[in-house]
Amino acid sequence: MQNTFWTSRRRDHLAGYLFVAPQLIGSIVFVFVPLGLIFWYSLHEWNVLAGTFEFTGPDNYDQLANDPKLGSVLTATGLFSAGLVVLNLSLALLLAVLLNQRLRGTVAFRTIFFSPVVVSLVAWTIIWGFLLQDNGGVNGLLQAVGADGPNWLRGETTAMISVIVVQVVKNVGLNMVLFLAALQGVPGDLYEAATIDGAGRWRQFRSITVPMISPTILLTSIITVVGSLQVFAQIAVLTQGGPGTSTTVLVYYLYQQAFQFHHFGYGATLSVLLFAIVLILTVVQWQMRKKWVFHES
């Protein structure tokens, strides 16, 4: 059967479009439309209980510029992200390098470090909430070795540290696996050559390992930065933004404004801000790759 319209080229194209269609429809319905709506809502005052929805133009953005709490919220967000990214990436890389050696038991250790990744986030956080209580497991352990632990979730600094560490321990396994995969792709002969040339272990790590896995470092850092800006469950379960407002990060503040205080319009404005921050950081990281990412194809 010969069809003049459905040439093999057109059929190929159609098949391609049909294959991407489910993903495309999903993205439109669940990403682009909500994104557009967020911008639209941010120009309105929406009183859910009274059922009013009024156009207020840039009022919410004025409020954003003059919000006395925004400074502390952005500081908390920055501290959380910086702490998380630094700790997560360095720990993940360290674990990956250690577990990349052909030693007994590495498989067991890889499993142990990866297993928190598949645990439910909320269950994980609730259990840590118990462990971090004043009379909880962490302080019990510290007492066993003669140290007197602080009341972790009630001090401003210790609460922030706790939230960061709980998140790092939860997710470090994922980055570790990505690094492991990258490490195993580094050709062994490079190390042999370096050893012959007299390079020590640190030198090999700096001059061979890091450049060779730099695309993975870029990928993990983007994922981790974006993820850190979206932290919510840990804050909601462990600290509810406290003590004071020390752990009120942007997403939690947005949730409070929209869903607890019923300022949906202002909440939408805050999510526009979050979107802008994530976008800028991602673009910056992407641009910087040219400077330090090795052998990108």
Partner 1 sequence: MRTRVLAAALAGLLALGTAACGGEDPADTGPVSLRMTVWTSNEAHLKLFTDIATAYKASHPTVSEIKFDPIPFENYTTTLTTQIAGGNGPDLAWILENSAPDFVNSGALADLSGKITESADLSASAAKLWTVDGKLYAYPFSTSPFGVFVNTTMFTAAGLSSPADMVKNGQWTWDNVVKAGATINAKTGKAGMVVRDFDYKSWDNLASVWRGWGAQAWSEDGKTCGFNQQPMVDAMTFLHKGIFTDKAFPGPGTTADFFAGQSAMTITQISRASLLKDAKFTWDLVPLPTGPSGKYAVIGQAGLGALKKGKHADVAADFLAFFTNPENSAKLAAYFPPPRKSQLTAENLAKTNPLLKPEQLQAVVIDGISTGVVKPSHIGQAELAQAVRAGLDPLWKPDADVKAVLDGVCSSISAQLAK
Chain contacts with partner 1 (rule: CB under 8 A) = 8, 11-12, 14-15, 18-19, 21-22, 25, 46-51, 132-136, 151-154, 240-245, 256, 259-262, 264
CB of 36 to partner 1, least distance (A): 17
Measure CA of the first residue to CA of the last residue in the chain; give whole Å.
43
Q: How far is the CB of 42 from partner 1 (least distance, A)?
A: 15
**Are 45 and 54 contacting, i.e. CB atoms less than 8 angstroms apart?**
yes
Pure H helices in 100-213: 106-114, 121-131, 137-144, 156-184, 188-196, 201-204, 210-212
Report cis status (omega within 30 of 0) of the bond before 243. yes
Residue 146 burial (C-beta neighbours within 10 Å; 0-12, 13-18, 19+): exposed
Of the pair 215, 242, the CB lying nearest partner 1 is at 242
Are 178 and 245 in contact by the 8 Å Cβ rule? The answer is no
Extract the tokens encoding 174.
Answer: 């994922």
Q: Tell me how far CA of residue 118 lies from CA of 100, 121, 124, 151, in angstroms.
A: 21, 8, 10, 29
Please give the Cα distance from 243 to 245 (Å, whole number): 6
State in angstroms the smallest separation of the CB of 240 from partner 1: 6
Q: How far are the Cα atoms of 82, 251, 280 from residue 283, in angstroms, in the given order?
A: 17, 21, 5
- Distance in angstroms (rounded) separating the CA atoms of residues 13 and 208: 43
Beta strands in the chain (DSSP E): 44-47, 52-55
Structure tokens belonging to residue 90 = 């360095």
